[in-house]
């Protein structure tokens, strides 16, 4: 039993090793090749610098990566997150907007609806989107990729309908705090993602939820036979993914002070999946690490920032991202192969299948 | 019993054909000028590249895989054509050959990674999509117009059919590709192996079929087909741009599913996919004729159709499974 625990611990260490290693290599590269990369200045009591910038810009992606991790851990995938992000942004922008009024002779913008109501509405709509995906996947048993494809295709159309095809600009100042406000010298969104991460980690580590998700991802049929309510668990994961995309949508809308249903969150679902893969999670489901995905999101953003900083055309980012993922996959498969050889694990059903 | 089972496989296709006829009938009754040969032919003219690319996608889906790189490959094809002719002054034939060769190579690499390096098809082709789009912008970030006389001639040539209705040469190319795909999937060993892999890769392997080779070949073929679609796209748009055909892979997948291809693999026909594309086209046409509806209603309508067909597939599969008295796997 003790040996088993040791092995498990080693595996977890192993899983976290590569993402951290990649991030370190990236940062080291920046340290040597980009001037003042690690410099952090204090302007107006706020911290500024490339590192803070990476953290700040990665927040929407971190949220999505957290949600995506859970979904992928159940053996599914949610490719609709970008569209959900657009929907969330559309809802919040149309509900807040900004009417100019004169208060005490001063020009001020007020929101259409109370800001809390707008935020709750946007999040509620996103969760409904997640529940919709969960309904298709868990209840109707449709392949996850296809099920979320439906919302991916329809989502942008729905967001366009909400905003009537316009780019809605937000003028209401308090709303900007979410995406570009500062708390204790740090961007506010970092605290948001930290709080959410703690909540999810608590859910995953301190309740049975994490274990259940892992069990479902490892083997659905046996999970059902052990009496797990598979449907409800999977459903919950998709709802959380929707929630994450919704919050990310709020942050993005608050950052750019508008909602562009056409381009908000375009291709971000791919970034989220990359973050999860970079975080050392298996696309096949089962064992998962939320922290790994968060670091994966940081890697994706650090990569983007690095590419901007060294002055290569930003479009190259896509090529580099893709090549990095391919490289990581190759390293992982090689590493797994040699591991299997050296450890000589007893043949399980899976490895037998692989051999055949 | 055997006949009955084949019938269940055909049900989505029959629904699709009926739906197409129904939509066309509704359009003809409601809108003036809808009921004409040219409207039908325009479905082909405007969607020739989509038909071609969806055929390649269908074969991959039947095999149980997925290819997300097709849209990006089309954009890259237009870019190669535009750049090689405008900047390198290559003759059109050489540019076309270069596109086909490059796209085949691209597909081959993806197939290699999926088959021999055990990449998930989803991930490998996602990376392929990123690489292809990135390469487009590396070549040029702006639109390159294609002014080559050969391309313009092909693009403007119309073949007159009866009643003054005409089709473009691209439609002919699409039909040639369709014929090739029908032959490949239904009349060759390669095609039967594809169906076998989609049904159950393990069994196909145990039956001694050349699974690995077929998989690599199929992905190579998908790349090659995307290349053809890219050239057809050049004829259609007469311009090269890195953001051409964004999310086209989703349309292609939707067309395959609406055309009766099962996403889990093993079931489907390339002919059905053509009807899938036609339905997408006719939805767009109806919305254009309607006039007041915004163009994004097309997306919502297609998503709704996709949903409806997937649910129908699911019900059929569950019924079949329960007939075999096997507990249906709840989700994958």
Q: What is the CATH number of the domain that holds A240?
A: 1.10.3470
Q: What's the total number of domains in chain A?
A: 1
Res. B102 pLDDT band, cuts 50 70 90: very high
Q: Does A313 map to a domain?
A: yes
Asked if the model's pLDDT at residue A290 lies above 50, the reply is yes
Q: Does A16 map to a domain?
A: no
Predicted confidence at residue A347, as pLDDT, reads 45
B306 inside 8 A of chain A by CB: yes
Q: A246 with A84: CB under 8 angstroms?
A: yes
Say if strands A168-169 and A258-259 run parallel, antiparallel, or are unpaired.
Answer: antiparallel
HSE-CB at B10 with a 13 A cutoff on CA atoms is 9
Q: Does A324 map to a domain?
A: yes
Predicted confidence at residue B1, as pLDDT, reads 43
Predicted confidence at residue A330, as pLDDT, reads 77
The parent domain of residue A324 ranges over: 27-340
Please name the residue that has the structure tokens 């066309």.
B24
Q: Return the structure tokens found at A90.
A: 């559309």
In the predicted model, what is the mean pLDDT of chain A?
80
Q: Does A4 map to a domain?
A: no
pLDDT tens, residue by residue, A25-80 = 878 877 777 766 677 777 776 777 777 888 888 899 999 999 999 999 888 888 88
- The runs of H, that is alpha helices, within chain B are 2-30, 37-62, 70-86, 92-116, 121-139, 149-156, 169-187, 189-199, 201-206, 211-237, 248-258, 270-290, 296-323
Q: B265 with B273: CB under 8 angstroms?
A: no
Q: Does A8 map to a domain?
A: no
B118 inside 8 A of chain A by CB: yes
Contacts of residue A146, defined as CB under 8 A and 6 or more positions apart, other chains included, come to: B253, B257, B263, B306, B310
CB spacing of A160 vs B254 below 8 angstroms: no
Please name the residue that has the structure tokens 């479902």.
A216
CB spacing of A316 vs B138 below 8 angstroms: yes
User: pLDDT over 70 for what percent of chain A?
Assistant: 83
Domain ranges of chain B: 46-275
Report, as an integer, the average pLDDT of B128-139: 88
* Chain B hits for A283, Cβ within 8 Å: 120, 122-123
CB spacing of A270 vs B130 below 8 angstroms: yes
Highest mean pLDDT among A252-266, B114-128, B192-206, B296-310: B192-206
Predicted confidence at residue A337, as pLDDT, reads 57
Of the listed ranges A160-164, A167-171, B22-26, the least confidently predicted one is: A167-171
pLDDT tens, residue by residue, A78-89 = 888 989 999 998
Predicted confidence at residue A15, as pLDDT, reads 66
Q: Does A352 map to a domain?
A: no
Q: Does A331 map to a domain?
A: yes
| Residue in B with minimal Cα distance to A319 | B131
CA distance A257 to chain B (A): 24
| Residue in A with minimal Cα distance to B121 | A283
d(CA B175, CA B169): 10
| Residue in B with minimal Cα distance to A134 | B331
DSSP, res A100: E
B108 inside 8 A of chain A by CB: no
Q: Does A130 map to a domain?
A: yes
In the predicted model, what is the mean pLDDT of chain B?
86
Report, as an integer, the average pLDDT of B36-42: 84
Mutate: best of B67, B127, B212, partner A, most A CBs <10 A? B127
Closest Cβ–Cβ partner in B206, B297, B328 for A141: B328
Res. B8 pLDDT band, cuts 50 70 90: low
End-to-end CA distance of chain B, in Å?
Answer: 28
């Amino acid at each position: 039993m003790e040996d088993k625990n040791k092995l498990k611990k080693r595996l977890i260490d192993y899983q976290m090793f590569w993402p951290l290693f990649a991030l370190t290599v990236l940062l080291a590269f920046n340290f040597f090749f980009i001037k003042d990369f690690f410099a952090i200045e204090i302007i107006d009591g706020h911290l500024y610098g490339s590192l803070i910038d990476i953290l700040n810009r990665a927040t929407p992606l971190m949220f999505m990566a957290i949600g995506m991790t859970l979904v992928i851990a159940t053996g599914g995938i949610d490719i609709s997150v970008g569209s959900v992000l657009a929907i969330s942004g559309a809802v919040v922008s149309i509900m807040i907007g900004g009417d100019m009024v004169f208060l005490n002779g001063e020009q001020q913008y007020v929101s259409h609806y109370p800001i809390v109501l707008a935020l709750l509405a946007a999040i509620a709509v996103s969760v409904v989107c997640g529940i919709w995906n969960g309904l298709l996947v868990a209840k109707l048993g449709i392949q996850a990729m296809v099920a979320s494809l439906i919302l991916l295709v329809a989502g942008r159309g729905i967001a366009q309908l909400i905003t009537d095809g316009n780019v809605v600009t937000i003028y209401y100042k308090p709303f900007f705090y979410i995406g570009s406000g500062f708390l204790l010298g740090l961007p506010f969104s970092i605290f948001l993602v930290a709080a959410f991460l703690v909540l999810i980690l608590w859910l995953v580590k301190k309740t049975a939820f994490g274990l259940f998700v892992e069990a479902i991802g490892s083997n659905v049929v046996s999970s059902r036979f052990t009496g797990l309510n598979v449907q409800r668990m999977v459903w919950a994961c998709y709802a959380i993914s929707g929630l994450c995309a919704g919050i990310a949508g709020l942050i993005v809308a608050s950052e750019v002070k508008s909602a562009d249903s056409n381009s908000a969150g375009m291709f971000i679902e791919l970034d989220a999946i990359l973050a999860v893969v970079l975080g050392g999670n298996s696309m096949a489901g089962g064992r998962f690490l939320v922290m790994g995905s968060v670091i994966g999101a940081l890697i994706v953003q650090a990569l983007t920032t690095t590419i901007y900083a060294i002055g290569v055309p930003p479009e190259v980012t896509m090529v580099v991202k893709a090549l990095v993922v391919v490289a990581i996959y190759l390293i992982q498969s090689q590493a797994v192969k040699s591991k299997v050889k050296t450890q000589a694990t007893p043949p399980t059903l899976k490895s037998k299948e692989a051999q055949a | 019993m055997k006949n009955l089972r084949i019938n269940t496989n055909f049900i989505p296709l029959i629904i699709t054909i009926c739906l197409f006829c129904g939509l066309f009938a509704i359009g003809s009754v409601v809108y003036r000028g809808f009921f004409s040969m040219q409207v039908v032919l325009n479905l082909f003219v405007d969607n020739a590249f989509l038909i071609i690319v969806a055929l390649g996608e269908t074969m991959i889906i039947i095999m149980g895989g997925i290819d997300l790189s097709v849209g990006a490959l089309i954009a890259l094809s237009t870019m190669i054509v535009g750049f090689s002719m405008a900047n390198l002054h290559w003759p059109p034939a050489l540019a076309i050959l270069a596109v086909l060769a490059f796209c085949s190579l691209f597909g081959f690499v993806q197939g290699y990674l999926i088959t021999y390096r055990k990449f998930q098809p989803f991930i490998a082709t996602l990376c392929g999509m990123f690489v292809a789009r990135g390469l487009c912008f590396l070549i040029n970030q702006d639109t390159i117009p294609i002014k080559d006389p050969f391309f313009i001639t092909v693009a403007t040539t119309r073949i007159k059919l009866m009643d003054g209705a005409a089709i473009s040469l691209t439609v002919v190319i699409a039909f040639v590709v369709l014929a090739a795909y029908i032959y490949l999937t239904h009349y060759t060993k390669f095609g039967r192996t594809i169906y076998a892999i989609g049904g159950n890769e393990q069994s196909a392997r145990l039956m001694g079929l050349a699974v690995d080779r077929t998989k690599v070949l199929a992905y190579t073929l998908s790349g090659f087909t995307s290349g053809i679609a890219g050239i057809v796209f050049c004829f259609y748009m007469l311009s090269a741009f890195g953001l051409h055909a964004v999310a086209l892979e989703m349309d292609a997948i939707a067309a395959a599913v609406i055309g009766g291809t099962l996403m889990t693999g093993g079931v489907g026909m390339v002919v059905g996919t053509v009807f899938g594309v036609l339905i997408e086209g006719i939805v767009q046409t109806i919305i254009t004729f309607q006039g007041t509806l915004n163009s994004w209603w097309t997306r919502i309508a297609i998503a709704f159709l996709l949903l409806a067909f997937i649910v129908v597939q699911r019900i059929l599969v569950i019924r079949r499974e329960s007939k075999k008295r096997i507990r249906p796997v709840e989700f994958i």
